[in-house]
Structure 1
């Protein structure tokens, strides 16, 4: 009996009830991708074309969940979904990655993170002066809200010449620091980010992210897989802490370990692109013992396609995940449960390059999981509560178990 949670990073399914307060009225990551593909706007010659083809996800109930959350879609409906399906709103007060992940595991973020204003400069002199002095830097570049790929293309060559790292932020509670792996040095970048992490605590900033890149010119700069997230530790226990304390093996794949500050995690496995995450996940599912809790984050959806407002890229990534899904499901044992969900939205058709406040899908499946409609859930924490029930752990303080009677829990 094991529990596997796959976070399809940013796969929102329609504007949340409080989307207007975040400036995200009308956002619908999945719905707008589906509609764009059906109208030909998701085509890219030699890459993909036509309506989105995700038959396995549709069969599990993703389309039904998305329509319930965000309205009718041009999708073929299964005669009867083979998975449990529904959608969830977020209690946390932000639309950032840590808030979404922590809430899924039973710890909503019901306080306000600190944010930097959308001004130039964005970060106050007290922050940047301290970073320059404590990290012994010649200066910094950027200090604004920006898309990571765009600001590296704009300032990367100047960074290489000057030795000044590129420091920027977004609508999230975050400081991102980009630097060239070879000219600046990867370990030096991590050192600077560690210093920035301690300084950022004064402003209650949730994350500092190291963004290494390589290449020799603006046209050739590329991010590497050596990203590192330095996150404020969770403010309370999560399902990971509870499972580990009860003697269960807890396994994180991708950036999950960083997001939880590596707390409550027995084994933290790095993986870059979605294909690598999937490969590591399937190997762990072959190895992991009874009672294991495995959490994997598929970050390409968000980083490569959502933030870059790349509809065809996002659609193709979903299609590739769908093609691999039967192989993933074949790794499950008789008493396993697998849940697919997301941590926020990042609508590639929406203005700007920030996350969007949306419902997230919940799709649960397993050899002994009875299919059905679990409807709208009031919090992402219903996921963690259901996984806790499946693993025989004590109930979390937040969330309602959605597993039907007989599925190691009951409604």
Structure 2
């Protein structure tokens, strides 16, 4: 058995999707990778350069150049919007379905009733006739303001007042009482709840009326110290995804970082609540040195840097990831495959703190295979389909394998 490795640089998009003008006009002109390359023209990411980043972006002001050795392509988002949760479900082979859009105001009554029945105390926080829900005076629930509005609810907690384990229990109660695509329960050691209250914001709907209320996650202080998170999804059938199908043929799945928080992997190994980039790569490298199977790691700090509109931090995380990828490549044997990609964009220059709806890069590495264009793919699910093909498992719900054009330089068949 060989190894199939996927590293997702969360939010590292390569240019707006064709439908942006109609579906997300606020993302016009988004291009996370190109803008970062132009902003740091004298800096290099040597591993990503060799893997074909400039082949994908085209020439920029950067000193980095295309690589004749690279195997590369691109992929569009098949899911609506640009959500990390649905992006990773799509990578695992899910056929995305139109999401429910429901402002927190329309769910607050059901959620509050479920919490009261669960023995929790609740209070409502009102701003301009819109309401948030506070639980046990230390967890604030409302709309997620960084994802597509109305599709995700956040639970922002102060770990000085409550444990993460208890926050997860509250999260499951909330999850049981609403049907939007994702609920996110997270927090950190925030100096005071006043910091959370000060980060409350209101967003308008398409008619210009105040409709969404939530806590601005970066401003809340939750990311600053001791950040932990769990993502609770709705309507995703894990029985159609890659981890399940691989288990049926005896292949173990390893998940690292945010992907472990949001993809069901009951029969595999999941390293949840790992955010630090170096730690994600350390865990991945440890397993690659001792195990075989399917490995998928999410580098979340790129995405967090985009949310904070911080290009300098974004580039620093990319440099860490570049070093980690070099170490991963050093572990790979001739029959192994590495795919480096993203799940959407998060342009730190766009002028808002939400994800940007962008296409994503596909950089494919396998020792001895060079100069292959793997195509312009229509869905991230092609990655999951490729992993299933690689291991001889049943295909997932969606996607087509991209492995067919990959051959050795000497034209011998590759033993996929």
Q: Please, what TM-score do these two structures have when normalized by structure 1?
A: 0.82
1:115 CA displacement? 2.7
Contact 2:38/2:61, CA 8 A, preserved across alignment: yes
Contact 1:123/1:143, CA 8 A, preserved across alignment: no
1:250 CA displacement? 0.9
1:81 CA displacement? 3.3
Greater fraction of residues in strand = 2
Equivalent residue for 1:276?
279
Contact 2:49/2:66, CA 8 A, preserved across alignment: no
Equivalent residue for 1:31?
34
1:341 CA displacement? 0.7
Contact 1:334/1:367, CA 8 A, preserved across alignment: yes
- The CA deviation string for residues 64-121 of structure 1, in whole angstroms up to 9 with x for no partner, is 1122xxxx42234546433311111111223111221122222121x2222344xxx7
Superposition map of 1:302-317 within 5 A:
302-303=303-304, 305-317=305-317
Pairing 1:407–2:394 present: no
Report how many aligned residue pairs link the two structures: 370
2: CA distance between counterparts of 1:376 and 1:30? 17
Equivalent residue for 2:202?
none
Superposition map of 1:118-133 within 5 A:
122-130=105-113, 132-133=115-116
Gaps of 5+ in 1: 39-50, 145-154
Pairing 1:106–2:93 present: yes
Superposition map of 1:12-411 within 5 A:
12-20=13-21, 21-23=23-25, 24-38=27-41, 51-67=42-58, 72-76=59-63, 78=65, 80-109=67-96, 111-117=97-103, 122-130=105-113, 132-135=115-118, 136-141=120-125, 162-163=137-138, 165-170=140-145, 171-172=147-148, 173-201=151-179, 205-217=180-192, 218=195, 222-232=224-234, 234-235=236-237, 237-263=240-266, 265-270=267-272, 271-289=274-292, 292-303=293-304, 305-403=305-403, 404=405, 405=407, 406-408=413-415
1: CA distance between counterparts of 2:160 and 2:372? 52
2: CA distance between counterparts of 1:80 and 1:96? 31
Q: Please, what TM-score do these two structures have when normalized by structure 2?
A: 0.81
Q: Secondary structure of 2:331's partner?
A: coil
Segment of structure 1 superposing worse, 323-332 or 367-376: 367-376
Q: Secondary structure of 1:349's partner?
A: coil
1:213 CA displacement? 1.2
Gaps of 5+ in 2: 196-219, 408-412
Q: Secondary structure of 2:289's partner?
A: helix
- The CA deviation string for residues 277-334 of structure 1, in whole angstroms up to 9 with x for no partner, is 0100000101113xx011111111112x011111111011112221333222112223
Q: Structure 1 residues 126 and 215 mapped into 2: Cα distance closer, same or farther (>3 Å)?
A: closer
1: CA distance between counterparts of 2:361 and 2:261? 23
Q: Secondary structure of 2:362's partner?
A: strand
Q: Secondary structure of 1:351's partner?
A: coil
2: CA distance between counterparts of 1:134 and 1:240? 35
1: CA distance between counterparts of 2:321 and 2:339? 14
